[in-house]
Homo-oligomer: A and B are copies of this chain.
């Protein structure tokens, strides 16, 4: 009887493990950068700081954001683009790029 119980437990665990493997979540990466011509004070601050630290030859710095999203299986790129348009990027001054994996 104990053996039977153990057997079921193992089966249960195996099923769960396979489910986890199969779930195989989608990942999306969104890169948001300020558009060219938009002043980037953060980038300028970094450039200045690098100069102060003795790193020569840094001609320009621009700083942006990366947003990594764990998504449910089946989410389309269109949905992620929609997220960017509505929340993740300010499309007046920022451009974005979506990478799905």
Contact = CB atoms under 8 A, between A and B. Distances in A.
Q: Quickly give the copy total for this chain.
A: 2
A55 B83 contact: yes
A39 interface: no
Given A50-B87, A55-B83, A79-B55, A65 B62 contact: no
Given A50-B83, A87-B49, A61 B66 contact: no
Contacts of A55: 79, 82-83
Most buried by B among A43, A56, A69, A72: A69
Nearest to A56: B72
A57 B83 contact: no
A85 to B, nearest CB: 11
